[in-house]
């Protein structure tokens, strides 16, 4: 029996929820160059199952019998999508996460890695934020529904581990961008929204408008870098506690600088307007990647400029089919 165990490496069936979204598409791309023989990836989209429905969630788990799960599916949106919809964001994300975690427990999934977000951290806090601070105070009032639902994933990971011995953990990326993002100006996040605005301004010869002053600072992670780190977490990361996935603090950049990189990528020569009567959102949200660097001191992040060039090129090449 021992000999047989050492001869056959056990097949991993890795179910990726939200598999057709920004991070899911990046994992599909990265895994092409890093596929291991004992790993089979299944990428789910909303067409395969409505994960808000418990029966559909369980039936998709029963169909594929995953040994591992990467849980990316969520109801998400930028600053302006959350205002006025906190109840929907809370209830839908709580329902989906509960379905996924319970299915993973009942079908004996060996490891589950969920995706949290740095926007769930307390609004009033010291910087840089780290993994120990997730529950230290209320989140920003604009997106409290989403934030509390995401925080509950960390609570459930600990509860499932304590009560059932499950290996459920989570990663906490900073602002993600890249190909296959949602480029909708009102619902999307800052970089894809600005890319779409720049495309339209250049095409129509109109001014390029930025909401706020542009002085807010952010850390951004390119979706392909995040995909590599997700795969690492699935294979190697063995803590229940979350881990922040963000570039070094020195790589923090202002929205103004990001906008200029986007305009440079489009070779935009028109007028630029800052709508200073509009809100900036939080001015800083610096996250510490000290824990990540302890594990992966050598990991090389793609520069913002190179990642933006690649994302703008993808958007131009896929303009007709891109989400917007």
Active site residues: 146
| Residue 243 DSSP class | E
Taking CA atoms, 148 is separated from 120, 135, 137, 157, 217, in Å, by: 7, 9, 11, 14, 23
Please list, in sequence order, all residues whose beta carbon lies within 8 angstroms of the beta carbon of residue 217, skipping any fewer than 6 positions away. 252, 253, 254, 255, 283, 284, 285, 286
Residue with tokens 């057709």, as numbered in its chain: 20
CA angle 38–41–42, rounded 5-degree value: 145
| Residue 206 DSSP class | -
In angstroms, rounded to a whole number, what is the distance separating the alpha carbons of residues 232 and 217?
Answer: 28
DSSP 3-state assignment of 272?
strand
DSSP 3-state assignment of 283?
coil
């Amino acid at each position: 029996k021992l000999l047989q165990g050492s001869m056959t490496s056990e097949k991993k069936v890795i179910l990726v929820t939200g598999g057709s979204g920004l991070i899911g598409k990046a994992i599909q791309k990265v895994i092409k160059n890093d596929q291991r023989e004992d790993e089979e990836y299944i990428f789910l989209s909303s067409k395969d199952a409505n994960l808000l429905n418990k029966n559909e969630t369980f039936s998709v788990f029963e169909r594929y019998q995953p040994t591992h799960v990467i849980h990316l599916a969520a109801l998400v949106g930028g600053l302006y999508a959350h205002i006025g919809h906190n109840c929907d964001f809370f209830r839908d994300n709580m329902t989906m996460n509960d379905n996924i975690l319970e299915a993973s427990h009942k079908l004996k999934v060996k490891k589950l890695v969920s995706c949290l977000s740095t926007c769930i951290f307390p609004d009033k806090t010291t910087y840089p934020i780290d993994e120990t601070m997730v529950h230290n105070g209320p989140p920003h009032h604009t997106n409290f529904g989403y934030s509390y639902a995401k925080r509950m994933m960390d609570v459930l990971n600990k509860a499932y581990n304590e009560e059932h011995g499950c290996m459920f953990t989570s990663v906490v990326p900073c602002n993600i961008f890249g190909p296959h993002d949602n480029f909708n100006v009102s619902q999307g996040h800052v970089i894809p929204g600005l890319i779409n605005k720049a495309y339209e301004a250049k095409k129509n010869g109109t001014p390029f408008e930025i909401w706020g002053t542009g002085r807010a600072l952010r850390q951004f992670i390119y979706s392909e870098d995040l995909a590599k780190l997700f795969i690492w977490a699935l294979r190697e990361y063995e803590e229940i506690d979350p881990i922040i996935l963000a570039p070094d603090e020195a790589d923090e950049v202002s929205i103004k600088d990001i906008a200029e990189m986007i305009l440079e990528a489009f070779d935009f020569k028109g007028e630029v307007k800052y709508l200073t009567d509009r809100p900036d959102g939080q001015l800083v949200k610096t996250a510490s990647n000290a824990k990540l660097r302890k594990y992966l001191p050598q990991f090389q992040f793609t520069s913002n400029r190179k990642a933006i060039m690649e994302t703008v090129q993808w958007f131009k090449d896929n303009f007709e089919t891109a989400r917007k």
